[in-house]
Chain A
Amino acid sequence: ETGVTQSPTHLIKTRGQQVTLRCSSQSGHNTVSWYQQALGQGPQFIFQYYREEENGRGNFPPRFSGLQFPNYSSELNVNALELDDSALYLCASSPGTGVPEAFFGQGTRLTVV
C-alpha cells in the first residue's frame, strides 16, 4: 500500500508567477485535502476534494484553486504568487467513509522571492 506522495519537494518561484503542486492519494482514498503551513505555525485548511468535487474551502482567496482527477490524485494551483505564499504545502488523503482520519504527505516547500 503506497502512502501519500507529493511533488515537487521544493521549488522557488518569483512573485507574480503561477505554481502547480501535485499529490497522489493513498490507495483506496477518495478524499484529498490541502493545507498551508507557514513557518512556526500549524497547518491551515485550504480546501478539500471528494470524488472530484470541491467539498469545503478555508479562508483562502480564489487565486488558490484545485482539481481532483478520476484516480483521486489532486493538484493545487496558486496564481499571482505573493511573498506570503511561501510555506510548506501539505496534502492529506482520507477514506471518505465518514471517518475523519487524514494521512499526510511529506509536503512541498514553496519559496516565493
Chain B
Amino acid sequence: AQSVTQPDIHITVSEGASLELRCNYSYGATPYLFWYVQSPGQGLQLLLKYFSGDTLVQGIKGFEAEFKRSQSSFNLRKPSVHWSDAAEYFCAVAHGSSNTGKLIFGQGTTLQVKP
C-alpha cells in the first residue's frame, strides 16, 4: 500500500537560515509527488509537484524539492527562510491507477521560524 512518511513533526529554524523538510514515500510505480503548505485554519496551497523528468523541481515562494528514486525521498528545501514561511507542510503522493487527484498525505511537519 502506498504511504508517505514525514519523519520530522516539528522543526525550528532561524530566519535567514536554510531549510530541509524530509519526505519518504512507499509506492510501487513511478510516483506523482507533491508538497503543500497550510497556514492555521486554512486550506492547502500547492508549493510544487513532480511528475517526471528533471528530478529537481522548482516551486513557488522560493522552494525546491529533489526526487531521489534510490532513496524513495522527495525532500523540500529553501535556501533562506522568511518569517512568513512558518506553517504546516505536507508531502503527498498520488494514489490509484486513475491518478485523478486522489492523494495520500504524510502527517505533516510544523515549521517554526525564530526571528
Contacts and interface: CB of A to CB of B under 8 A. Distances in A.
Interface of A: 4, 31, 33, 35, 40-45, 48, 50, 55-56, 88, 90, 92-94, 96, 98-107, 109
B90 A100 contact: no
9 contacts: A33-B102, A43-B105, A56-B96, A90-B43, A99-B51, A100-B101, A101-B34, A101-B49, A102-B101
A31 B90 CA distance: 22
Report the interface size class on chain B: 20 to 34
A100 to B, nearest CB: 4
A55 B101 CA distance: 11
B108 A94 contact: no
A99 B102 CA distance: 11
B77 to A, nearest CB: 20
A45 B46 contact: no
A50 B4 CA distance: 25
A45 B103 CA distance: 7
